[in-house]
Amino acid sequence: MPRLFETNALPPEPDSAGRLAVDGYLPLPGLLTADGLVLLHQEAAGMEALARRRDFAMKCMDDSPRHMTTLGGQVIVEASDMIPALYRDPGLVGLLTRAAGEPVIEIDDPVERHVLNILHRVGDTHGAHTDDYPYALVLFLEAPDDPADGGLLYFLPHAGSLYDLDAADRARTAHHRAGDAYLLRSDTTAHRVTPLSRPGLRRTVLNFAYTTPTARPHRTGSATELYG
């Protein structure tokens, strides 16, 4: 099996943990190897027929919109060996631990461990929320090349409420390409994905959720609504 990710991929700045603590976000550009991108993209494409279309407003997240196609970890584990193996790969978990500056560990939750999110229609968006677990590694398998086409991460670290995401002027956007990744302090960073602007665009990500030995995840009903 070829290497799926760059084991040495860490941001050039020495203090990634400090940056993550302040910004809530750490870009990991080019985390996937060329082989990794091809193989994971194929794996996701092969599972897409199992994925379900979701169009609703999420009550527990201020009625923010979900227009996307999703596949939960409980289905992925039956359909893929590669994705669950990557999720628990000690090299990947070690990289995340170095990046975060604290032990990053697997979660037990079979649904949220590893999910697939596909935006593929005009207006498709993953609306504002925080995650149930403290860390999210988001791996890009497809993304619009042009930031003007949408699919941007829009985020606000240390958010008091989801309302602040659009009200505060501290919110930032980030653009990613296929093969890129980012690590998010996802339980305290409010975040959403901006809508796709025109037909023919696709944005496909894997989201791997992790915790720490001391974190107390605040479980919401969001995963059941989106992946159940």
Residues that bind ligand AKG (CB under 6 A): 115, 117, 126, 131, 136, 138, 153, 191, 193, 205, 207
Could you tell which of Fe ion, ligand AKG, none binds residue 126, using a CB distance below 5 to 8 A set by kind?
A: ligand AKG
CA distance 226 to 228: 6
Question: What is the number of other CB atoms lying within 10 angstroms of the CB of residue 214?
Answer: 8
Of 15 and 166, nearer to ligand AKG (C-beta) is: 166
CB 158 within 8 Å of CB 170: no
Q: Which is nearer to ligand AKG, 33 or 207 (CB)?
A: 207
What is the Cβ-side half-sphere exposure of residue 19, based on CA atoms within 13 angstroms? 16
| Residue matched to tokens 């939960």 | 72
Q: Which segment (44-52, 73-81, 111-119, 128-136) binds Fe ion by CB under 5 A?
A: 128-136
Q: Which is nearer to Fe ion, 38 or 171 (CB)?
A: 171
Q: Which of 131, 132, 149, 187 binds Fe ion (CB under 5 A)?
A: 131
Secondary structure percentages of the chain, helix, strand, coil, to 5: 30, 30, 40
Segment lying near Fe ion (by CB under 5 A), choices 41-49, 106-114, 127-135, 212-220: 127-135
Amino acid at 162: L
Site string for Fe ion, 80-119 (x = CB under 5 A): ----------------------------------------
Binding segment toward Fe ion, per CB under 5 A, in 68-76, 124-132, 150-158, 198-206: 124-132
**What is the C-alpha separation between 87 and 63, in angstroms, rounded?**
30
To which residue do tokens 């501290």 refer? 170
User: How far, in Å, CA of 199 to CA of 197, rounded?
Assistant: 7
Residues that bind Fe ion (CB under 5 A): 131
